Chains A and B, each alone.
Chain A
Amino acid sequence: MAEQAPALKRAQPLTLRDRLSHVMNSVISVLSFVVLVIFALAMILPFIFSIANSFKTLPDINANPQRLLPSDLDEDGWPDFSIQGYREVAAGDFPRWTFNSFAYSLSVMISHLILDSLAGYALARLRFPGRDAVFMGIIGTMMIPGIVLLIPRFIILKQLGMINTFAGLVLPVMADAFGIFMMKQFFESIPREIEEAAKVDGANRLMIFARVVMPMSTPALTALAIFGFQGAWNDFMTPLIVVASDKNLYTLPLGLALLRGFAGSQFRWDTFLAGSIVTTLPMAIIFFVLQRYFVEGIAYAGLKG
């Protein structure tokens, strides 16, 4: 809007009130941009420092964490980057853990996209007895600290023979309350008229859901996909109890926790930062790719004006 103001000015004479509002709009735009940049810096700077420090030696990290380049110089006078941390990381079974993490996160993401949307749609639109109770029950499961459920869940998985299996990893988290709740709220905000139009045309509920509702929900599904993938990617406690005794099934967070060493209290920062970056990078790329599906202002076909 700010850029259009001069063109408007030439086209026709403006009242004082119009001028003021244009100035106000420009000021607001500039201020917003400043706010945006400040927040963006606050969010990103820590990672820049982490990446920079991951290429330094341990003593250098401890002595000069604020420097972006290694303090030591090589014989040609260039900063002497250290990859010691990455070497330690590579010594673990990282390729396998990365593969496991991808398999786990993708499975969880896909099953959330299906099961959470189905359940969310049922709760938002389809009236059946006990719907409210089921909804409160689902939200209710989020309110118990997961830590007291670790042992009971282990016992159930043991009864099912799923300890140290990939199925045991995925099955318990194939649907989640957060996703169902989120999808329900999204579906509720979609105008009903569209579905009713399809119903008049003779479509059944599954068809309406798959052909009308889902395609309209790209932003919400994108969010659901991101959260599902990311939740599984960073999950620590759930995989821990299921696959603790099989290194071949470890995901990255478990592998990373192993690298911490010294019972967790003392850090080899070079290894730790390198490991963090190796685990964060794929997630960052996936987010960057998926977030393109947030295109503002979906225009609803067939519902103009």
Chain B
Amino acid sequence: MFGNRNFVVAVVLIVALALAVLPTAAQEGEAVELTLMGWSSSSAENDRLQQMIDDFNSEYEGQIHVTLNLVPEYDTTLQTALAGGEPPDVFYVDSFRLPDYVEAGALMPGEDLIEEPDDFYPSLRQAFTYDGVFYCPPKDFSTLALFYNVDMFEEAGLEPPQTWDEMRAAAEALTDEDAGVYGLVLSADFARWIAFLYAAGGSVTDEDFTEMTINSPEALEALEFYTGLYLDGFAATPSELDSGWNGEAFGKGLAAMAVEGNWMVPFLADNFPDVNYGVVELPEGPAGRATMAFTVCYAVPAEAAHPDESWTLVNWLTGPEGMAQWVSLGLAMPTRQSLRDQWLEQFPELEPFLNGAEYAHKWQFIPGFQDVLDTVNDNIQRIFAGTQTPEDALAEIEEVGNEVLERYQAERAEE
């Protein structure tokens, strides 16, 4: 089967194939070549970004040429490129990962290079500020709000909830366990519960990350409210509703409410076009309204090969005009306050998300905070499973958190 002659033929063939696939040498030109690295999103968003890059390239013809490189498994790819000394010229950074990259000295501060920085919402600027330095301008953002099923609410004669009490009452009224429908779909996830923690007046750590402040009466109230919805049977987890995440359970009509971000809007349009839903801001807690801002910025590496050109690109993409073009599909929200009214005229139904920007908290802590995140998720999951109490959970989170903070402070003291 594998005769010698066949081997030779096969090897020759492979070599020929290999040569055919090898990249052709790049054309010598005067334009500076830049790469923009990011992750792949919906195809509509990918296409729009490519179109913007094309526009940029024609505007800067002969000076700058940008290649858009959307990669799978983003964190691994980016980290390998950075550590290997081959950083892309511009890349996405999620606010949660910002401290890791800053502490590693991987980012160039954008403080004096970003155009009109005061136009960005303060909460979003904060998300990319570390140690008082503003690193990179937010490309867009999402906030959490409450999705509700209009048909279910109308049938029960209910108004969308404005407070925690109303939310709980609505969840109770809309739960019909025999029909397998719950008032709320709730994931055992820190990134959702934290909005309730802030709405109760609680906090995770102190300002300077010297100690955890999460073991407080406010946090307990928030944790008891959140897990109580589940334990009392008014809410179910996505997996109990045969779903991968909250959006899917809501779309299937198995839950009347869901706490999610604006990324769920195009998801519902694609997957569950018949669902009649509305969106309101997250209900008011004991200490008022709170939500979370999840956001991504365009960063330039500390060791940029072409810093001027890179910042030109970043400022073009996040400047008033570029931003307006980027958000015109309604898939992403403008991070510049000056674009608010114009955008809302076009997408009035998304107002609750945009309003959240005014009182949103940043999703950003310190390097190494993944340990705390995992511990919180672990504890919420155990409370749901009935093997942990909210009191013990907060004590455990506090202990782990303080260990992480202590390590962080010790490392900083060394530097």
Max count, chain B CB within 10 A of own CB: residue among A222, A236, A262: A262
The reply on A286 being an interface residue by CB < 8 A is: no
Interface residues on B, range: 35 or more
Closest beta carbon of chain B to A155's beta carbon, Å: 5
Residue from the list B17, B22, B73, B273 in contact with A165, Cβ < 8 A: B22
Chain A 242-259 interface 0/1 with B at a Cβ cutoff of 8 Å (1 = within): 001111110000100111
The reply on B1 being an interface residue by CB < 8 A is: yes
The reply on A227 being an interface residue by CB < 8 A is: no
Cβ contacts under 8 Å, B267 to chain A: 262, 266
- What's the Cα separation between A118 and B210 when bound, in Å? 60
Cβ contacts under 8 Å, A100 to chain B: 21
Residue from the list A114, A222, A257 in contact with B73, Cβ < 8 A: A257
Cβ contacts under 8 Å, B69 to chain A: 244-245, 247
Closest beta carbon of chain A to B17's beta carbon, Å: 4
Beyond A88-B43, A110-B10, whether A151 also contacts B77 by CB under 8 A is no
Beyond A59-B273, A261-B40, A293-B1, whether A267 also contacts B244 by CB under 8 A is yes
Residue from the list B23, B37, B70, B271 in contact with A249, Cβ < 8 A: B23
Are B21 and A244 closer than 8 Å at their CB atoms? no
Are A245 and B23 closer than 8 Å at their CB atoms? no
The reply on A107 being an interface residue by CB < 8 A is: yes
Closest B residue by C-beta to A293: B1
- What's the Cα separation between A126 and B252 when bound, in Å? 64
- What's the Cα separation between A103 and B11 when bound, in Å? 11
Are B42 and A240 closer than 8 Å at their CB atoms? no
Closest B residue by C-beta to A256: B72
Closest beta carbon of chain A to B260's beta carbon, Å: 11
Which chain B residues in 34-50 approach chain A with CB under 8 Å?
A: 35, 37, 39-43, 46
Cβ contacts under 8 Å, A167 to chain B: 18
Max count, chain B CB within 10 A of own CB: residue among A62, A113, A165, A170: A62
Closest beta carbon of chain B to A57's beta carbon, Å: 10
Residue from the list B42, B80, B245 in contact with A241, Cβ < 8 A: B80
Residue from the list B11, B37, B41 in contact with A110, Cβ < 8 A: B11
The reply on A14 being an interface residue by CB < 8 A is: no
The reply on B119 being an interface residue by CB < 8 A is: no
The reply on A298 being an interface residue by CB < 8 A is: no
The reply on A150 being an interface residue by CB < 8 A is: yes
Chain A 211-250 interface 0/1 with B at a Cβ cutoff of 8 Å (1 = within): 0001000100110000000000000110011001111110
Cβ contacts under 8 Å, B272 to chain A: 59, 62
The reply on B7 being an interface residue by CB < 8 A is: yes
The reply on B84 being an interface residue by CB < 8 A is: yes
Are A158 and B86 closer than 8 Å at their CB atoms? yes
Closest beta carbon of chain A to B319's beta carbon, Å: 25
- What's the Cα separation between A170 and B69 when bound, in Å? 22
Max count, chain B CB within 10 A of own CB: residue among A167, A259, A266, A293: A266
Closest A residue by C-beta to B45: A261
Are B1 and A260 closer than 8 Å at their CB atoms? no
Residue from the list B23, B42, B84 in contact with A262, Cβ < 8 A: B42
Beyond A151-B84, A154-B84, A155-B84, whether A103 also contacts B17 by CB under 8 A is yes
Beyond A59-B272, A240-B76, A241-B80, whether A262 also contacts B21 by CB under 8 A is no
Are A103 and B72 closer than 8 Å at their CB atoms? no
Residue from the list B37, B72, B244, B251 in contact with A257, Cβ < 8 A: B72
Closest B residue by C-beta to A271: B43
Residue from the list B4, B39, B72, B247 in contact with A240, Cβ < 8 A: B72
Beyond A107-B14, A165-B22, A167-B18, whether A62 also contacts B72 by CB under 8 A is no
Closest A residue by C-beta to B83: A151
Are A258 and B72 closer than 8 Å at their CB atoms? yes
Are B248 and A62 closer than 8 Å at their CB atoms? yes
Are B271 and A106 closer than 8 Å at their CB atoms? no
The reply on A265 being an interface residue by CB < 8 A is: yes
Cβ contacts under 8 Å, A222 to chain B: 1
- What's the Cα separation between A97 and B104 when bound, in Å? 35
- What's the Cα separation between A106 and B42 when bound, in Å? 33
- What's the Cα separation between A170 and B19 when bound, in Å? 13
Cβ contacts under 8 Å, B70 to chain A: 258
The reply on A166 being an interface residue by CB < 8 A is: yes
Closest beta carbon of chain B to A213's beta carbon, Å: 13
Residue from the list A88, A110, A166, A240 in contact with B21, Cβ < 8 A: A166
Beyond A107-B18, A110-B10, A154-B84, whether A254 also contacts B72 by CB under 8 A is yes
Which chain B residues in 1-26 approach chain A with CB under 8 Å?
A: 1-2, 4, 7, 10-11, 14, 17-18, 21-23
Residue from the list B23, B245, B251, B252 in contact with A246, Cβ < 8 A: B23
The reply on B348 being an interface residue by CB < 8 A is: no
Are A106 and B14 closer than 8 Å at their CB atoms? yes
Cβ contacts under 8 Å, A267 to chain B: 244
The reply on A91 being an interface residue by CB < 8 A is: yes
The reply on A58 being an interface residue by CB < 8 A is: yes
Closest beta carbon of chain A to B13's beta carbon, Å: 8
- What's the Cα separation between A264 and B270 when bound, in Å? 16
* Sampled A-B contacts (27; CB under 8 Å): A58-B270, A59-B272, A62-B271, A103-B14, A106-B14, A107-B18, A151-B80, A154-B81, A170-B18, A236-B73, A237-B73, A240-B72, A241-B77, A244-B77, A244-B81, A245-B81, A247-B69, A249-B21, A257-B73, A258-B40, A258-B71, A259-B40, A260-B40, A261-B41, A261-B46, A262-B41, A265-B245
Question: Other CB < 8 Å A-B pairs besides A62-B248, A244-B71, A249-B21, 11 of them?
Answer: A59-B272, A100-B21, A106-B17, A107-B14, A150-B80, A236-B73, A245-B35, A246-B23, A258-B70, A263-B39, A266-B247
The 4 A-B residue pairs whose C-beta atoms are closest, nearest first, are: A257-B72, A103-B17, A154-B84, A166-B18
Residue numbers of A with Cβ under 8 A of B are 58-59, 62-63, 88, 91, 99-100, 102-103, 106-107, 110, 113-114, 150-151, 154-155, 158, 163-167, 170, 210, 214, 218, 221-222, 236-237, 240-241, 244-249, 254, 257-268, 293
